[in-house]
Amino acid sequence: MKPPRFAYARAESVEQALSLLSDRADARLLAGGQSLVPLLNLRMAEAPAVVDVSGLAELSFIARESGTLRVGALTRHRQLEVSGPVLSALPLLSRAAAEIGHLAIRNRGTIGGSLAHADPAAEWPLMAVTLDAHIVLRSKRSSRTVAARNFFVGPLTTVIQPGEMLCEIRFPIHAGPTLWGFQELSRRPGDFAVAAVACEIVRGGDGLCAGAALGVAGAHSTPLIVPEAEKVLAGSRGEEASLKEAAEKAAAAVEPPSDLHGSADYRRRVVKVLALRALKEAWSKA
């Protein structure tokens, strides 16, 4: 199928894009097009007006500054997968990027587009909540920064308001030793995740867990952070009992859907298994 007719404008700068969004409250942004275009073609979404921002080089960057990894919204998945600064500062991002779709999709799709699309099974929303990222939103008249953990409000739904554009993502970088794990189950390589789990563990000078984050995707209406698991892990040294209890907390926290890929009970069991694997993977890096 082909999309219904829509007005089209190509922005030459961020300011022009914001001005166009201000003029058309019903406008949709086109970045990499890997989410919006299929939805339009299948008539699952409407876009009376489309503002094309794919050529805005000023929003395609990766920069490490003062304990923060700044990523422009139009940075391609593939750039994050192979970036030297990403691999040295937050290798979990590179690991997750490698699971996104196929190479052609990773070469076109953008991190900002994925976050704004807010598919609860997608990798970037999971990374954003697990790593406690902050998202910069701009409009013609103002700018605001939103914690990723407050950004997603439902399936394909975020706090972005009409006239706003997602411009930047800021990931904190911990000063101390950091361990990480990532596990995903999909029907075929490149498919959306049936479930995925990511974790980050900060080790103190005594080798104990000084801080932890465990996130789940694909088994809840939004990417979900599990604070109950973090409490279990705090002060631990990666003991089997602690990891198993944290995995059980993750499975208990999700409210998964039942669909053709699996029942709710199946997804809970998958989350438990993936969480335990991710945590073991993280501690194996100690």
CATH 3.30.390.50 in the chain, residue ranges: 178-284
> Which residue has tokens 């465990």?
214
Instruction: Give start-end residues of each CATH 3.30.465.10 domain in the chain.
Output: 57-172
pLDDT at 128: 98
Q: What CA–CA distance (Å, rounded) separates 72 from 64?
A: 12
Q: Which CA distances in Å does 262 have to 182, 193, 257? A: 21, 12, 8
What's the predicted TM-score (pTM) here?
0.95
Please give the CATH topology (third level) of the domain spanning 7-52. 3.30.43
SS3 282: helix
CATH classification (class only), 57-172: alpha beta
In this predicted structure, what is the pLDDT of residue 190? 82
3-state helix, strand, coil in the chain (%, to 5): 35, 25, 35
DSSP 3-state of 69: strand
| Number of other residues whose CB lies within 10 A of the CB of residue 241 | 9
The CATH number, out of the four listed (2.40.50.1070, 3.30.390.50, 3.40.50.2300, 3.40.50.880), of the domain defined by the range 178-284: 3.30.390.50
- Mean pLDDT split into 10-residue runs, the chain, 286 residues: 86 97 92 86 84 97 96 98 97 97 95 96 97 98 97 97 97 94 92 94 95 97 97 96 98 94 95 98 95
